């Protein structure tokens, strides 16, 4: 599912796109990839907001900053819910390829809104996965993939958007099934998983969880 972003007119290619994901290591909830287009002008505003790597921010602040970023810069989000995620993973059998598909989709969507020639992304695997996914879509941009890319302002903004979307969807999912679904994949998640199975049965896990995690067998 693609979450629509605010419309922005195409701008000169003075800026760059940053992408990042959330939910990759979380048993419950979706996999979310977000992209943010930043120019020199919007970079000043994002710094004033206090944009930095989402891992250094509280969940509450992530929610607040997500709204501010969406009002400041063009944003696109691709959220893959658990059921769809499990279907895709069963076909692809490789998380990095799935991530590359989602990152490429976000980049493609943003390039429909803005004129841009440079993309910065955190390196989540063999960089050829994302390069190939973009080429398959006929998109040729300068792609920079590197570890700890969250020190790039656009990637940091994307990390906040992605995490905020993940947290919101995880909460909604938990409310819909009547179980508090925890983040991550540790002991609290096992407790949530066992409560869910007691209430909805093992077959229902596919609707809320990423089944290829070892957590499934532990539950």
Q: How many domains does the chain have?
A: 1
Q: Cα 134–136–169 angle (5° rounding)?
A: 55
Q: Is residue 110 part of a domain?
A: yes
Residue 218 lies in a domain: no
Lookup: tokens for 219: 């539950």
DSSP assigned state of 167: H
Q: Are 27 and 166 in contact (CB under 8 A)?
A: no
Q: Give the phi and the psi of residue 35 in degrees, each rounded to 5.
A: -135, 145
Looking at residue 68, which CATH number applies to its domain? 3.30.420.10
Q: What angle do CA 127, 133, 139 make, to 5 degrees?
A: 105
Judged by DSSP in three states, 104 sits in helix
As a three-state string, the secondary structure of 58-92 is CHHHHHHHHHHHHHHCCEEEEEECHHHHHHHHHHH
In-domain check, residue 173? yes
pLDDT for 7: 36
> What's the confidence (pLDDT) of residue 91?
94
Which helix (H) or strand (E) segment holds residue 20: the answer is strand 16-22
> CA-to-CA distance for 90 and 73, rounded, in angstroms?
35
Ordered mean pLDDT values, 10 residues apiece, the chain (219 residues): 36 77 96 96 94 90 95 97 96 90 91 90 77 70 84 94 97 97 94 96 95 95
Asked if residue 90 is part of any domain, the answer here is yes
**Residue 13 belongs to some domain of the structure:** yes
Task: Give the residue numbers spanning the domain of 200.
Answer: 2-213
- Does the residue 71 lie in any domain? yes
pTM: 0.88
Q: Is residue 219 part of a domain?
A: no
- DSSP 8-state class, residue 28: B
112: its two tokens: 């429909």
């Amino acid at each position: 599912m693609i979450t629509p972003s605010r419309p922005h007119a195409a701008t000169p290619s003075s800026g760059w796109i940053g992408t990042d994901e959330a939910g990759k290591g979380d048993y419950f909830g979706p996999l979310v990839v977000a992209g943010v287009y930043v120019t020199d002008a919007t970079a000043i505003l994002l710094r004033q907001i206090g944009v930095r790597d989402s891992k250094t921010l509280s969940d509450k602040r992530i929610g607040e900053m997500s709204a501010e970023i969406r009002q400041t810069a063009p944003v696109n989000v691709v959220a893959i819910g658990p059921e769809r995620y499990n279907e895709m993973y069963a076909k692809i059998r490789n998380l990095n390829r799935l991530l590359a598909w989602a990152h490429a989709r976000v980049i493609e969507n943003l390039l429909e809104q803005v004129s841009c020639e440079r993309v910065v992304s955190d390196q989540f695997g063999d960089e050829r996965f994302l390069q190939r996914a973009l080429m398959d879509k006929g998109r040729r941009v300068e792609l920079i993939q590197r570890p700890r890319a969250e020190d790039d302002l656009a990637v940091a903004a994307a990390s906040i958007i992605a995490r905020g979307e993940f947290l919101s969807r995880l909460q909604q999912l938990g409310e819909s099934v009547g179980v508090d679904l925890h983040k991550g994949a540790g002991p609290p998640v096992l407790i949530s998983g066992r409560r869910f199975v007691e209430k909805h049965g093992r077959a229902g896990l596919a609707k809320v969880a990423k089944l290829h995690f070892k957590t499934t067998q532990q539950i």
